[in-house]
Amino acid sequence: FFLFDYCGPKGFASGGFIADSQLGVVINATQQQWMTRNSSISVWTNAVWNQVFSGVSGAPPQSFPHPTYTTLATSPVTREAPFLYTDSSGRYNVFVPAVQHNSSGTSWSSGPAPGTSIPVDKFFIAQPGDSVDSINKALGSGKNLILTPGVYHLADSIRVTRPDTVVLGLGFPTLIPTSGNAAMTTSSAKGLLLSGLLFQAGAVNSDVLLRLGGDGSQSDHDASDPSGLYDVFFRIGGAAVGKATTALIVNSDNTILDDIWAWRADHGSGVGWTSNTSDTGVIVNGRNVTAYGLFVEHFQKYEVIWNGDNGTDVFFQNEMPYDVPSQAAWMEAPGVDGYAAFKVADGVTHFNGYGMGSYSFFNQGIDIFAANAFEVPSTLPAGSMRDLLTIFLDVSHGKGGILNVINGVGGSSTIANPDVPVTVVSYP
């Protein structure tokens, strides 16, 4: 199983995500970083910068940083993505997998996966031309939601309020707010599952593109029925000018984030420091939130802010913004250069991070520095942060760099050591 296009002279190598899959020999080759969760493999050929395995049968043993494998025997809490299928009578249903704790391997290798089926007639099947009002009326009446492929221009927010609602995107429907609104908001109800969606910022700045959980409040529902985001992506610029203060805010407790990519565009249309403006990719306020495969790139302040207690992140990939115009324009505080890619708030008492990397490529021809890639309370329990790295990219065009890996520890990644991981195995 090749993780790149082996037919061309050079395959794409910017990483990816595998879950709930059974594979033989996996050829990683040039993939810089990769997240594999709850799967089975026979061989993984090689590491590059950051290869992370959680609950994977046959995974390489823990060896970070030589080679850069981070391996967790089990995944603390998982719930696979809902999916559309036909039953033996040819009827369409959506399967909603059950919650698993401390699991490994696929959900289906030992027999039918545990979970429930929802007949498709319990869903409102939306088309791109449908109004937000019609979608919200259907959701309010108790329907789940399937979004068919296409672009949805939304003058108001899609509102998901009923517990255990499923929102399933087919073909990655694109949701674009047009009036500075959020594209989608949810209540703090339990068991909300959102899968296969692309949120794209509109030309008018939105405070947030997707807000999971009531604004400013944390849910307090039972961890036995967590909410989840699966294969949910965010794009600010790149296709057109777009602006959003924050891409994703998670207020709900006991949420699973599974393959999240938040991207402030570094290329394409509508790209520039004052064009596709966005402060932060992901803000987590909820407690007991678990993330697998968090990809957050190029935001203009902190890329991730984690305020909730008892959180876990398994795999993080980040590139700092390329287009910082001056050091003065990018200062966390007086005397503190740049912004950390991942900020755990000072009041957090417990947080665990595994296999987390941040890279720099400041391409405006001047030295730009970030004081730290990661900032966390030094009072976290010993070893809360494991297998961290920074990298300086592109010796021909890059400037500046990252001065420390975490909280002033770990050394710098600059032009003096390009394309070489600077690592911290355990902190504090």
SS percent in the chain: helix, strand, coil, step 5:
5, 45, 55
Give just the sign of the alpha carbon dihedral 323, 3, 30, 256: positive
Residue with tokens 């981070």: 70
For the chain, percent of residues with pLDDT exceeding 70: 97
What's the rounded mean pLDDT across residues 73-86?
Answer: 98
- Asked if residue 270 belongs to a domain, the reply is yes
- Asked if residue 240 belongs to a domain, the reply is yes
Residues 6+ apart with CB under 8 A from 302: 279, 280, 332, 339, 340, 341, 342, 343
Residues 6+ apart with CB under 8 A from 28: 3, 34, 44, 45, 46, 47, 48, 51
User: Is pLDDT above 60 for 219?
Assistant: no
Distances (CA, A) of 319 to 164, 225, 258, 328: 35, 33, 19, 20
Q: Assess contact for 388 and 405: CB atoms under 8 A.
A: yes
Q: What is the rounded CA–CA span in Å between residue 248 and residue 257?
A: 11
**Residue 293 and residue 392 in one domain:** yes
Q: Determine if the pTM surpasses 0.85.
A: yes
- Listed as own residue / partner, the contacts of 129-138 with beta carbons closer than 8 Å and 24 or more positions apart are 132/156, 132/157, 132/158
CATH number of the domain to which 234 belongs: 2.160.20.10
**Residue 397 and residue 255 in one domain:** yes
- Asked if residue 59 belongs to a domain, the reply is yes
pLDDT digits (tens, 9 = 90+) for 275-297: 999 999 999 999 999 999 999 99
- Asked if residue 205 belongs to a domain, the reply is yes
- Write the Ramachandran bin of 263: left for phi over 0, alpha for psi from -120 to 50, otherwise beta: beta
Catalytic residue among 80, 297, 303, 319: 319
**Residue 322 and residue 245 in one domain:** yes
Tell me the β-bridge partners of 185.
159, 211
319 included as an active-site residue: yes
pLDDT digits (tens, 9 = 90+) for 359-399: 999 999 999 999 999 999 999 999 999 999 999 998 888 99
Q: What is the pLDDT of residue 221?
A: 62
For 305, the domain range is 117-427
Q: What is the rounded CA–CA span in Å between residue 215 and residue 228?
A: 17
- Asked if residue 79 belongs to a domain, the reply is no
User: Is pLDDT above 80 for 110?
Assistant: yes
pLDDT digits (tens, 9 = 90+) for 15-72: 999 999 999 999 999 999 999 999 999 999 999 999 999 999 999 999 999 999 999 9
**Residue 144 and residue 251 in one domain:** yes
Specify the 3-state DSSP secondary structure of 198: strand
- Asked if residue 419 belongs to a domain, the reply is yes
Specify the 3-state DSSP secondary structure of 58: coil
Question: Minimal CA–CA distance to 109: which of 152, 147, 55?
Answer: 55
* Total domains present in the chain: 2
Q: To 5 degrees, how large is the angle CA 223–CA 226–CA 232?
A: 150
pLDDT confidence of 320, banded at 50, 70, 90?
very high
**Residue 56 and residue 176 in one domain:** no
- Asked if residue 66 belongs to a domain, the reply is yes
**Residue 66 and residue 126 in one domain:** no
Residue with tokens 């909730």: 308
Residue with tokens 């004081």: 371
